[in-house]
Structure formats: C-alpha cells, structure tokens
Chains A and B, each alone.
Chain A
Amino acid sequence: MTDVTDSYVTPDGRTIGGVVMEMNNITLRFGGVVAIKDISFNIREGEIRSIIGPNGAGKSSMLNVISGFYVPQEGEVLFHGKKRPPMRPYEVARQGIARTFQNIALFEGMSVLDNVMTGRLNYMKTNIFQQALWKGRAEAEEVENRAVVERIIDFLEIQHIRKTPVARLPYGLKKRVELARALAAEPKLLLLDEPMAGMNVEEKEDMSRFILDVNDEFGTTIALIEHDMGVVMDLSDRVVVMDYGRKIGDGTPAEILSNQAVIDAYLGVSHD
C-alpha cells in the first residue's frame, strides 16, 4: 500500500490527500451478535471510498460507526489523527460529516427548499425568537444561507421542484433531495448509504454523475455503501469488502475484482 501520509494524483487528475479518518481494529457487538469484527481501514482526503458486501455483512453498521452513531466496544476511530470521543449527532455534523439514509429520512410535509435549508442549521446563530420576528440578523442570515442552498439546488438540477412538498416526489428525486440536504451542510466527509438502491438505470447514471461532480467540484471526501457492483467499480478510488462482519478485501477496484476471497463471497464456492 502507498504511504498513508503522502498525497497522490489519480489518473483522472484529482488529488488524493492524506488520511482523514482511520478505523483501528473495530469490533461492534449488539448483545451476543457480533456485527463488526476487528476491522481496520482508512479514508483519505478527497477520495471516493466504497464499502461493499452481501446483505447482513455489517456495511450500514460500519457507516454508523464512521458517523459516530454507534460506539464500538473495541478499537478506536481516529479523525484527523485524534481519537474521537463518543459524540451526539449535532456534534458529528459540526465536525463536517453529513450523511444520507438507506430509507429516505426527509420531512415529507415540507417543501424541497425547506428540507434543504435544514441542512444549514449548524450555520445559523440566531435563535427561534429572532427568526420568528424576522428582523435584522435573522433576515440577513436566512438570505446568506438561502444563497448557499440555491447553489446546491442548481448543482443537483432540482430547480423545478424547489417549492414542491417532498411527499409528492418520486423516489429517485427524493434521493436527490436528501443528497442536497447533506451537501447543504458543506461537509468535508459525506456518507452515502445506498444512494442508488431501487433506482432504474437512468436514475443511477444521474446519481453517479452527481456523486462524481460533488467530489470533483467541492473536493468532498465520500464514503458510500452500494450494492450495484458496476457502479461501485466505476466510481470508487478504493473499496472495502465486508462479509459476515469481517473485512475480506481492501484496495482499488481492479485489485478487488481479482481478489479470490471477494469472488468466493459474491459468487459462492463450489464444495466438490
């Protein structure tokens, strides 16, 4: 493996920096069930890092460990080289980590615009009373944040549904709105939990395009979980493969595709 402190340039011209997050010997148990068993890997600045594996392999649990939602019983998580203490969700967000969910978690009754605006909450300093009175600072603050949100709406091409209540949107667009809300927080690290689940080919292509553009345009580090192997291999710089809570592979897409343990896990092993 390349030295973790060096930065390098990918063949398509992006600069991948040093390690921003490091998982060391993580073990996560729910009672007697071991969801994650002694896993170590890292995420480097500016890269698209994928976690793949069959159903029940522990991918979503892993993402929750990265986001700080689950605290592993063993092992440590280093963020920018420092050991991370247990945190509340808003503290995670303030550290520059945002995520989307496998099962969409938007405010269904609110418009797309309002949903995306909620992603800016960490940047707002006025309190509820100031906002209700809509005077001075509160007004200026909303204008500033709205400007950021509008850029994201433009970026993800959802201008036409700006004022539409989320409940009325089709699935593919809801996924895009969720991405918009995560981006509104201007994260350094973006976690995507199956961003393409349940989409048709065209929607998947659009979403892949957006993920690449986000990474390229904002330099956002992205960790994602995905089932569609084709998508993962096309998008990712490096891939972690999990099976039954263990890490069975880690490397570039090309390395993963030729890894016998991965092939066995995905295609099965013949027993004769």
Chain B
Amino acid sequence: MEKAQREAGQDISLAALLRRNARKFADRPAYREKEFGIWQCWTWAEVEVEITNLALGLIDLGLNEGDFVAIIGRNRPALYWSMVAVQMAGGVPVPLYQDAVAEEMEYVLGHCGARFVIAGDQEQIDKVVDVQEQLPKLKQMIYLDPRGLRKYDHTQLHAYTTVQANGAERRDKLAPIMEKRIAAMTADSTCIMLYTSGTTGKPKGVVLSNRNVIETARNSAKFDHLRSDENILSYLPMAWVGDFIFSVGQAYWCGFCTNCPESPDTMMTDLREIGPTYFFAPPRVFEGQLTNVMIRMEDASPLKRAMFHHFLNHAQKVGGDLLDGRPVGLWDRCKYALGNVLVYGPLKDTLGYGRIRVGYTAGEAIGPEIFAFFRSLGINLKQLYGQTEATVFITQQPDGQVRADTVGVPSPEVEIRIADNGEIFYRSPGVFVEYLDNPASTASTKDADGWVATGDAGFIEESSGHLRIIDRAKDVGKMADGSMFAPKFVENKLKFYPDLLEAVLFGDQRDRCVAFLNIDLTAVGNWAERNNIAYASYQELTAHPKVLETLASHVAEVNKSVAEDDMLSGCQIHRFVVLHKELDADDGEMTRTRKVRRRVVEEKYADIIAALYDGSETISTATEVTYEDGRKGEIRATLTLMDAEIATPKKMRVAAE
C-alpha cells in the first residue's frame, strides 16, 4: 500500500509511467497490431524507444510546449504512441473522430489552434488539406501510411518514420530539451484534450489533467482488480474518452497489452483471435452479436438447434446466479457444466469472449434480455455510467451486484448528489479542468466546490444504493396535462426489439406522443429473405405492409409496458412512422457516438411530425442526405403514418375497479 502511494507520487505523467513500464515489464507485450495477416508485437522496452524517437522528432519539427497536436485515424499503435510522444514533447494531444467530415475537423482544429496534425492515411490528410487555408496556425502534418501521398507537396508534410528517424539522429541535441519539458510536468499539467460529441451545439474541448487521468486509471483498475497480464482490443474511436482511459490510462497504469485490429471490417475476427480478458463495447455491439448468433442458429441442423435452445434456457435460469455467486442446486450446476462444454464454451470462443474477466457496456441502456443472455453464458458483463467531464467513471457495478436497470454504485473516490429536480451531480478526482476557451460553459457545468452537473436525471435506489438513470434532464419534459414526458424511457423499450435500430419519441407540451422508427436492416433484411419478401432498397423495405404490421405490434406491446408505469403512462405512442432513411451522423441527425440529436431531427422532419399530429394517412416528403464524401443529395418518399394500439394505464384500471 505504502509502496503504491510512493509510486503514485512519482508517476504523475504518462511519460513517467512509460518509463516505469519499460523497466518493470521490459520484455512483456505492450502493443499488438495485426498487419499483413500476422499479429505484430512490441514490448514495453521497444515502445519506449519508438515513443521517445517520435517525441524527439516532434521537437525537431518545431513543436513548442503547450502546442495542440491533433491525432486522427483508426486505432493503431503508432497513433497511441503519438499521444504519449506529444505529451513527452510538451504538447497536448487532441484525438479527433476519424469519420468526421472536413468542416467538422475545421471547427475543432481551428478552435484549439492545432499546430500539428498526425494522421493515419491519405483520407485524413486530404480532409485537413481541404480546410488548411482556414487554419493559419497549422504548421506540420505527419502521416503513417504513405500510400497515395508520394506526390503531395512535402514542405509541411512528413512521414511518421522520417520524423522518428530525424529525432533519433539528433537525439544528443534534442534529448535535454525533452527531459526539461518532462521534468516541468506536474500532476496538474494538461494530459489530453478531448472534444465532447455534443448532442446540442458545437463540440466543447474538455481539458483533462495528468491527475484526472492517472488517478482515475488507478482507482478504476483497483476496483476491477486489473493486472499487467490483461489483454484488451482497442477498436472504439480514439477520440472517445473511454478508449483513452482503457487503452492508454489503465494500460499504462497496469502495464497491460493493447491490441489493435487489422481493419475496421476485421474487428470480429480479431476479437476472436485475441480473446481479450478486459473488454468494453457499447450495447449496439452486443445487440449485433446476439442478432447474428440467433440468425446463424436458424441455419444450424435441428439437433444442434435443439441443443442450443435447451442449454440456453438452462443458462437463463441459473447462469446469472452462478456468476453472482448465489446458491444453485447441485443438479443445475452439473447441467450448466455440461452446457458449458457443449454450448456456452464454444459459443463464447466464437464470439471472442472465452477469456473475459471483466466486460463493460455503457453509453446507452442495454436491453435486459441481451444483458441477461451474455451474463448467463458466464461472461462477467457489467454496466458503468460516465462522461468525458468525469474522465469516464461516475458509477460502476461491482462484481456480483449486476443488474440491467441500474448503472451501479459510485466509483472509488466519487461523490454523488441528486438535485431537487432529479439531476445527478458528482465530484471526483477525475473532474475535468475546464472547457478550452469557454469559461461560461465551464462555470455553468462545474461549480466552485467542484460539483459537476451531468445533465442526466436519475435517482439512487434505496434498497441497493445503485444509481438509476431516467433520461437526459433537458429531454425530460411535461405533457400538456402536466404528466412527465421522458422519451428515452420509451425509446429504449422500443430499441430492445432486434428489428428496431433507432426510435425517437415526440410529445413535450403535447397531449399525446408520436414516434419515428428506424428499422435494423440486418435483422429485417434477414427476416424478409426468410419470408420471401423481395425488396430493392432500404426505403422499399421500410414501407412494406408486413414490416409496418410487425412494428405496429411492437409498439402496442411497448405501450402496454409503458402503461404499467405510474409516472410515465402518458408517454404511450399514439401514432408512428417508419422513416425512409437511417438517422445518420453525416446528416447531423446523430452524434459521432450515435446519440440522436433530438432538436435537429425535430426541425428537419417537422412536416412529418405535423402530419402525425393532424391525423393524415400518408405524407410525401423530401429529405436532404449527405454522402460520406460530403456531397449532398435528396431522397423523396411517401410515408404511411400508422396508428398504434393504446393500453389502459394501470392506475386508471385500478380506479375503475
């Protein structure tokens, strides 16, 4: 314990942790990346050399203390090294979302005044070059993959390897400068800046200090007993705070190995090959996997299918209890063990979850059935609640106290307070320093005592002490009759159906609720194939009468379940429409982390909402769409507006009796 504290005193920056790891775990794998069909591996000692050379190269290129360096690209070891190298060279790394279009990049690059950009490939360089004229502060660009960039003007453009080589060559001259900059770092120096995805307005730059990152990494690693022999797969956007904490913060604190997939398309294969012991995924990954498993089991032989379902039912019965350490009878234990040999084990191996000790999901609510499915297989999947401003962790579920409807107890050293209006506030060592160049927003989010408003409404369940989230505080509204309107509550119920990808509920200040639905093309497409329903496009499939019929039955079921809730029974869906296009981040309808921007959707589709309320049967509409390369087009469609079956609220039934 004492030793840990002493170490914590010294290890105040990622640079210090890197050096500690290079000493302590010199020959242990630090990074792996699959390239050319083979997992390439770097030990901690090798990584230290790579990062140091890059840091020296950056200083050689003219990086000054406090300069912002944007890092753009898919998860690759070299880009993770860039983050640490920038810090060692005295700069501040700013990872950006790689799928952002040029204008979005222009905003963030301009906002922080980035002087350097480190990009993965030509695609990213092209986007930066497109907006370069508007970015007077931008001086140097560095790329990893030289492909297609050979003929570009190289006055401001440099290959990653060249920068490293130059740094190594001039080590004698540059090393003292670097050492001075590292020595000048304190726990309060900026470690990284991350842009929030921003469901409303422009993204804000969240400044996190070394203290934020390292103390949070230490606390959360202790909470889940993470060790130096963990393996994680890093595939979530590098610009997201979670990826930074898991793949850099915790990885450096514990000294475990970060694995990068070969390409975004091979993620599932790579997951299976690595078999991570510590894993994070948003609910949609688990949903997608479950849908896939179920679809593929439909194609299995009758014997296998019967065995699958038989043992799965058994797992549903006792799997969760076994995982939580609750008493289970001997016969059930034996049967579960047999199921493990025949079904669960092979299934987990196929999914890549064979070795998981700790798994987390967060970001959105996960469907209780999906959550239960993975847990019943013996996968220790848990939920956490967090945000960028908290350096991720606010609450998390301890082993053995896992439930689908809560997000757990406060993380170590986090205090939680619920305001009178239901909004959740927290205070912790992870609380961010400030929003860059935005004192007004900083002040309105964080008060003088360090309490931060989450913007989410929730309550602490008295029986268990676990936090439950209701909705975004600003999204919670009132219906015309004064009852509570919490759209997320209803939307989540809808999204738990595998054939529904997205749902948006409207009804604030109105007398009844209406909803937009997006179908899940994989699930519905597969269903259409099985039922011999031909369709030529997404749009055609969404308008198929059979699809509408199925969705109407889902809505009716959701209405029934909403009616059971005393507070929210007014949120039943009276009418709905299946949208002719998927809500998309390129069109600004969602954030890059796939959260619906309610206001944008409401404005963009105002005509459809109006039609839902005025009772029309159909509506013809034209919608502007943005293609991945930024060009615009238009989709025209005539949509059928559907009436939904309404259930009688429980409290009214009681009154009638």
Contacts and interface: CB of A to CB of B under 8 A. Distances in A.
Contact of B263 (A146, A155, A160): A160
Contact of A151 (B36, B148, B151): B36
B266 interface: yes
A121 B560 CA distance: 66
B24 to A, nearest CB: 34
A147 B36 contact: yes
Interface in A232-254: none
A13 interface: yes
Main secondary structure of the interface of B (DSSP, over half): loop
B265 A159 contact: yes
A66 to B, nearest CB: 28
B269 interface: yes
Nearest to B261: A159
Contact of A216 (B36, B38, B151): B151
Given A159-B266, A160-B265, A160-B266, A13 B36 contact: no
Contacts of B148: 209, 212-213, 216-217
Nearest to B269: A160
Interface string A145-166: 0110011011101011010000
A151 B147 CA distance: 12
B262 interface: yes
Contacts of B36: 147, 150-151, 153-154
A14 interface: yes
A154 B147 CA distance: 11
B446 to A, nearest CB: 44
A264 interface: no
B136 interface: no
A213 B147 contact: yes
Interface in B127-159: 147-148, 150-151
A150 B37 contact: yes
Contacts of A212: 148
Nearest to B268: A160
B36 to A, nearest CB: 4
Interface string A207-237: 0010011001100000000000000000000
B151 A153 contact: no
B7 interface: no
B37 A157 contact: no
Q: Contact size class for A?
A: 10 to 19
Contacts of B269: 160
B35 interface: yes
Interface in B220-271: 262-263, 265-266, 269
Contact of A159 (B37, B147, B150): B37
A13 B151 contact: yes
B157 to A, nearest CB: 14
A160 B262 CA distance: 9
A155 B147 contact: yes
Contact of A217 (B147, B262, B263): B147
A171 B256 CA distance: 42
A159 B151 contact: no
Contacts of B147: 155, 213, 217
Contacts of B35: 154
A272 interface: no
A6 interface: no
A3 interface: no
Contacts of A157: 263
Contacts of A154: 35-36
A196 to B, nearest CB: 18
Contacts of A160: 263, 265-266, 269
Interface in A155-188: 155, 157, 159-160, 162
Contacts of A147: 36
Nearest to B628: A202
A162 B265 CA distance: 11
A96 B35 CA distance: 28
Interface in B32-49: 35-38
Nearest to A205: B629
Contacts of B37: 146, 150, 153, 159, 162
Contacts of B150: 216-217
A14 B38 CA distance: 33
A103 B36 CA distance: 29
A217 B122 CA distance: 13
Interface in B291-347: none
Interface string B372-396: 0000000000000000000000000
Interface in B19-39: 35-38
A160 B34 CA distance: 12
A160 B263 CA distance: 8
A127 to B, nearest CB: 26
Contacts of A159: 37, 262-263, 265-266
Nearest to B267: A160
A162 B269 CA distance: 11
Nearest to A157: B263
A14 B266 contact: no
A216 B150 CA distance: 8
Interface in A18-54: none
A160 B269 CA distance: 8
A155 B146 CA distance: 11
A235 to B, nearest CB: 14
Contacts of B266: 159-160
A153 B36 CA distance: 8
Contacts of A151: 36
Nearest to A217: B147
A220 B521 CA distance: 41
Closest 5 A/B residue pairs (Cβ): A160-B265, A150-B36, A13-B151, A150-B37, A160-B266
26 contacts: A12-B151, A13-B151, A14-B151, A146-B37, A150-B36, A150-B37, A151-B36, A153-B36, A153-B37, A154-B36, A155-B147, A157-B263, A159-B37, A159-B262, A159-B265, A162-B37, A209-B148, A212-B148, A213-B147, A213-B148, A216-B148, A216-B150, A216-B151, A217-B147, A217-B148, A217-B150
Given A153-B37, A213-B148, 17 more contacts: A12-B151, A14-B151, A146-B37, A147-B36, A151-B36, A153-B36, A157-B263, A159-B266, A160-B263, A160-B266, A160-B269, A212-B148, A213-B147, A216-B148, A216-B150, A216-B151, A217-B147
